[in-house]
Amino acid sequence: MLKRLLPLALATFAVGTDGYVIAGLLPSIATDLGVSTPSAGQLVTVFALTLALSAPIMGALTSSLDRRSALLISLAVFVIGNAVTAFGTSYGVVMAARIVTAVGAGIITAAASSTAAAIAPPERRGRALAFVLGGLTLATALGLPLGTLIGRADWHITLWAVAGIGMLAAIGIVVDLPRVMLPAASLPDRMGPLKQGRVLALLAVTSLAFLGTYTLYTYIGPTLRDATGGNESLLTLILLAWGVGTLAGNITAGRLVDRHDSARVLSGTLVFATLALALTPLAIHTLPSTLVWAVVWGVTVGIIVVPQQHRLIALSPAAAPVLLGLNSSALYIGVALGGGFGGLAQEWFGLAPAELGPVAAAVTALTLLWHLGTTRHPAAPMTPEPTSANQTESKARPAR
């Protein structure tokens, strides 16, 4: 099974690197394009918002395809978008290219996750999801700091590297992934679960959690200026510590949700995330304390998605592709709102980047309260329960 999951993880690694790396490159992008850092930060906001809004539409358009074909189409758009971004020399061109890239990225994570859930046995589903999502978290551990380091010479090179990773993922999918057929779902079908109050409540937790995270994370470079003294090598080191923490959190999350109640796992995670964010102004004055803070915060970020996915699948296993797609959209809505909120807080209220930490902590505390409210009532299956079941073809078509 690992061999089949590997190209899926590489695809999410490409998406994760693309989404995360911009934050580490914001100062150089802003300088090169002749805009302010908060304006450059809106590249993250627009990318995430486009991804969130286009994902259900693209998912509906490709739902009748086997998951391998859907992933290959989306990766092709993703690679082209990154290539155009790498060619970009103006803010408008780069913004347009990020929109194209986001359309391609919109269905990669959801398609990869639903495929992993379909081919894994129920008792190992949590670990399978964690492995595929490990591509996203590995992007923070390796892709983000390496991309930032490469981007010191020219940020365009980083985007070329991301395009190359996308191409490698596509090759891996052609070679190793079997045809996985899942029930087709139209756009109304995909939006249907939003009528369920339980689903909306869970998706709101995902959005709020990442709104809090990206209020600060989008501007992580300027935030860490005191700790790094403007040294980009030190910034890379701190981002690596954050990424290693995130990867550790992701690995831990898979085992935790296979053994413990997902809601409780998430509750504890949000408590630690709130504390880490609240301590940001105190923690980032020295390099050692910043490294510890980065690891702790990274662990909490790495855990969040897996228990959320597990809770949604528990509502209706047959509707897993639709629910995971909606959760992916909810995640990127949170990313978009966080990037926009953090930029507005700096421009409208004159907050320094480091002062965004307590603001993000307040949002995360609100997330915790909302989450606790959703756990007061036991999860019930979605109604009406879909009757179709996931179908997987165990034999891959030969690569052509």
Cα(57)–Cα(68) distance, rounded to whole angstroms? 18
pLDDT higher than threshold 50 for residue 397: no
Q: What's the whole-number mean pLDDT along residues 197-213?
A: 91
In a domain, 213, yes or no: yes
Cα radius of gyration (the chain): 20
Helix, strand, coil in percent for the chain, rounding step 5: 80, 0, 15
In a domain, 380, yes or no: yes
Assign residue 66 the CATH number of its domain. Answer: 1.20.1250.20
pLDDT higher than threshold 70 for residue 196: yes
Mean pLDDT of the chain: 81
Q: How much is the pLDDT for 184?
A: 59
pLDDT digits (tens, 9 = 90+) for 231-254: 777 888 888 898 889 888 988 888
In a domain, 145, yes or no: yes
pLDDT digits (tens, 9 = 90+) for 346-396: 888 888 888 899 999 999 999 999 999 887 654 445 554 443 334 444 333
Q: How many domains does the chain have?
A: 1
Per-residue exposure over 339-363, b if at least 16 CB sit within 10 Å of its own CB, e if not: bbbbbebbeeeebebbbbbbbbbeb
Number of H helices and E strands in the chain, helices first, is: 18, 2
- Region of poorest pLDDT, from 115-119, 269-273, 350-354: 115-119
- What does the DSSP 8-state code read for residue 159? H
Question: Of 266, 247, 366, 46, which is closest to residue 358 (Cα–Cα)?
Answer: 366
Please state, for a pLDDT cut of 90, what percent of the chain lies above it: 24
Q: How much is the pLDDT for 392?
A: 40
Q: DSSP of 4-62, one letter per residue?
A: HHHHHHHHHHHHHHHHHHHHHHHHHHHHHHT--HHHHHHHHHHHHHHHHHHHHHHHHHH
Query: ∠ at Cα 360 (313, 201), nearest 5°?
Result: 30
pLDDT higher than threshold 80 for residue 39: yes
Q: How much is the pLDDT for 176?
A: 75
In a domain, 280, yes or no: yes
Cα(145)–Cα(377) distance, rounded to whole angstroms? 41
In a domain, 394, yes or no: no
In a domain, 200, yes or no: yes
Q: What's the whole-number mean pLDDT along residues 327-353?
A: 85
- Region of poorest pLDDT, from 97-101, 110-114, 279-283: 110-114
Q: DSSP of 69-87, one letter per residue?
A: HHHHHHHHHHHHHHHHHHH
- pLDDT-based confidence at residue 107 (cuts at 50, 70, 90): confident
Q: What's the whole-number mean pLDDT along residues 330-346?
A: 86
Q: What range defines the domain where residue 196 resides?
A: 2-384
Counting beta carbons within 10 angstroms of the beta carbon of residue 218, is it exposed (0 to 12), middle (13 to 18) or buried (19 or more)? Answer: buried
